[in-house]
Amino acid sequence: MALYSIPYVQVAKQYAEEREELEAVIQDVLANRSHVADPLVDELEEELTAYCGTKYAIALNSGTDALMFAMTTAGIKPGDEVITPPNSFVASTSTIVHIGAKPVFADVLPDQNIDPDAVEAAITPRTKAIMAVHLTGRVCQMDRLQKIADKHGLIIIEDAAQSIGSKYNGKKSGSFGVAGCFSTHPLKNLNACGDGGFITTSNAEIANRVRRMRAHGMSDRVTVEEWGFVSRMDTLQAAILKFRLKNLQSVIDRRRANAKYYQENLNHPCIFFPADRKEEYNTFHTFVIQVQGHRDALQTHLAKLGIKTTIHYPIPIHLQPAAKSLGYKKGDFAVTESQSEKILTLPVNQYITRADQDAVIKETLTFMNQVSQNTERKIG
Ligand SMILES: Cc1ncc(COP(=O)(O)O)c(C=O)c1O
């Protein structure tokens, strides 16, 4: 028997907390609503619009489709280049490939977000867009990225899949670029009970075309304006999200408090995590530490004790087998590659108790002290 039982996610606890209200919401959909394209989806979109501070929000069946539709409707064409970081979830890159464009990687900063200087260095005459991925729930340095975009006539697409509610200089993620792309996957801070996502934009043309693309390219019940897709958000998921959106601030508050507790107590010379800058309001979709040496041994040690951690992401995208034809090689992105060997994601979900956080901190520090002493002894 392991000493602890500290999971990485706690979906069952969320269900227990919400059970009565959530089941009523689901029953209402089953009994009274159209299961696809009910006005309730429009209501959710209005609430998301207000929440994110854009003119429109369009509910879809995934964050991946949100990225694909956003880039297509923003005018990114086959052959265009889109600058994106190599350390994201694969969908940030695969969607660029799927629309026939070319992903061009730019390395990241110590905080894991795209480095504006590297972006500028990666621009070519074929560059059309910058994809700003707000990894871990921290918004990229949007003022610097916007300046670069303006200078070179580029558009910005935000991959805001991990950053609902996050802010930069008081402005919400998803409201900076021509479009913001969100995921409501079960592991996200605003989560459905299945796949889901949405696009935010203040551009009416983009909004209208995304609405059309998600429903077979039809502008009404009989007219097909373009070849489309089936990417509507189901009424059931929309109802669940509408209910959970009411509690999102509490989820964010709890995650922020948990992150702060780690930040205040997880101090070790071999452990790094980026400090929150004053312009940032981070929502901690993940809490990632960077461990100097022994990351894998630490993860295995914690797992043996019953503490689950994970790695976002162990193989940088440019080194994935699928990326072979893009022509990158090991050594091309030093920061991303070095981080991929150091990063470890600790449980920061809204249900983790202080006692469990204390255990994570104590066991991590004890292990790191031990291995550091052994290393010193060997060197000495
Ligand atoms: C950064 C990032 N981009 C895109 C996606 C894709 O979202 P989805 O899983 O909803 O398709 C995710 C989700 O995991 C993500 O984390």
163 lines ligand 1 (CB under 6 A): no
Mean pLDDT over residues 43-53, rounded?
A: 98
Q: What is the rounded average pLDDT of the residues 152-162?
A: 98
Residue 161 beta carbon below 6 angstroms from any ligand 1 atom? yes
Atom of ligand 1 nearest to the CA of 162: 16
Ligand 1 centroid to 141 CA: how many Å?
Answer: 20
Q: Is the pLDDT of residue 377 over 80?
A: no
What percent of the chain shows pLDDT beyond 70? 98
- pLDDT over 50 at 154, yes or no: yes
| Domain boundaries of the chain, sorted by first residue | 11-245, 248-379
Query: Span 11-245: which CATH code?
Result: 3.40.640.10
Q: Give the span between the Cα atoms of 52 and 72, in whole angstroms.
A: 22
CA of 273 to the centre of ligand 1 (A): 23
86 CB near ligand 1 (under 6 Å): no
Of 118, 120, 40, the residue nearest 86 (C-alpha): 118
- Give the pTM: 0.97
pLDDT tens-place string over residues 57-90: 999 999 999 999 999 999 999 999 999 999 999 9
Q: For 248-298, how does the pLDDT look when each residue is reduced to its tens digit (9 = 90+)?
A: 999 999 999 999 999 999 999 999 999 999 999 999 999 999 999 999 999
The phi, psi pair for 307, rounded to 5°, reads -110, 115
Q: For residue 114, report the distance from its CA to the centre of ligand 1, in Å.
A: 17
Closest atom, ligand 1, to C-alpha of 196: 10
The band of 380, judged by pLDDT with boundaries at 50, 70 and 90, is: very low
> Which residues fall within 8 angstroms of residue 283, CB to CB, at 6 or more apart?
137, 163, 164, 165, 166, 189, 252, 255, 256
User: For the purposes of burial, counting CB atoms within 10 Å of the CB of 180, is it exposed (0-12), middle (13-18) or buried (19 or more)?
Assistant: buried
Q: Cα–Cα distance between 27 and 42 in angstroms, integer?
A: 19
Q: How far is the CA of 113 from the centre of ligand 1 (A)?
A: 15
Neighbours of 269 (CB within 10 A): 8
Q: Tell whether ligand 1 has an atom less than 6 A from the beta carbon of residue 88.
A: yes
61 lines ligand 1 (CB under 6 A): no
Q: Output the CA 62–ligand 1 centroid distance in Å.
A: 8
- Closest residue by Cα to atom 8, ligand 1, is 63
Q: Which of 125, 370, 176, 360 is nearest to 263 (CA)?
A: 360
CA geometry: angle at 368 spanning 362 and 373, to 5°?
125
Q: What is the pLDDT of residues 312-340, one digit of tens each?
A: 999 999 999 999 999 999 999 999 999 99
Pocket perturbation via mutation, ligand 1, pick of 61, 89, 288 by most ligand atoms within 8 A of CB: 89
- Residue nearest atom 12 in ligand 1 by C-alpha distance: 161
Cα of 354 vs centre of ligand 1, distance in Å, is 29
Q: In the predicted model, what is the mean pLDDT of the chain?
A: 97
Helical ranges in the chain per DSSP H? 11-32, 39-52, 63-73, 91-98, 116-122, 142-152, 204-213, 235-245, 248-265, 295-304, 334-340, 354-379
Fold designation for 248-379: Aspartate Aminotransferase, domain 1 (3.90.1150)
Calculate mean pLDDT across residues 33-53.
98
Is any ligand 1 atom within 6 A of the Cβ of residue 197? yes
pLDDT of residue 376: 64
